[in-house]
Chain A
Amino acid sequence: MTASIEKPRDLAGGLVVMTIGAGFLLSGWELDPGTSLRMGPGYFPTILSILMIVLGGVITALALRRPFGEGAFGRLPWRGLGLIIGASLLFGLTLRGLGLGPVLLLVVLASAWASRYASLRASLALSVGLAGFCAFLFIQLLGLPLPLTGPWLSAGYWSQAVAATASAITR
């Protein structure tokens, strides 16, 4: 459609769009479309899903008509992608267990490593500073209902768990 269309990238883009459309169409298959007078929960989503598939199809078709371009993707920065998405997943998984302070230390340290200019000393300093600042801001000033350190960090939590496992094994 415009000069911005490049073959491999738009081929992939069109296919992704079609897949998303098909995914919505399939998972919304059971929703009642109703009638055009009294539209059910499935009416509008179905129209949109079909529209999505059509749009994806057009993008794909236009991409196929273009001569082959190269290197449209560039390299995927796997390290950055993994570290940054991993860091936010880690935050979600361990927040309640570790508490805000320790989690932020880990998250900032991990995500800082995604930069090619990262150095251990700077990252450590940054994570300690940020963890302290955020803990103060969010827990002290804004009163977020979060523990500074979580139950996983207290000795009692683990000794109880160990005791429970031990008794389970011996029984």
Chain B
Amino acid sequence: MTTSEGSSISKYAAVYVALLVIMGAQFLIGYQNISGGQLVTRFFTFAVIETILVVLFFMNLGSEKPLFIKFVVYFTLFVLACMNYPWTDSFRLLVFRLTGFSPS
């Protein structure tokens, strides 16, 4: 094995260990008795870090052409952002169900 091949496997191993640590932290948080909002915030933060690590290093997007990276990132983020329009409606439904109010 050449030095560069060995170093790239070391890089993958380091990312693997980092992902294991992050997942371990998520499991620890899962067992804690904290509010839903805090859980979502922490899990989302960890998920973003995991995504960056996996996409850049494991899927090797970081070694592609900058134009292609921009295309993938911008397009995917735009679509994901567009999917988040119904949250206000879910909170409205929650309030209706908690208060027993039914809009006529």
Whether chains A and B associate is no
Interface residues of A (CB under 8 A from B): none
Interface residues of B (CB under 8 A from A): none
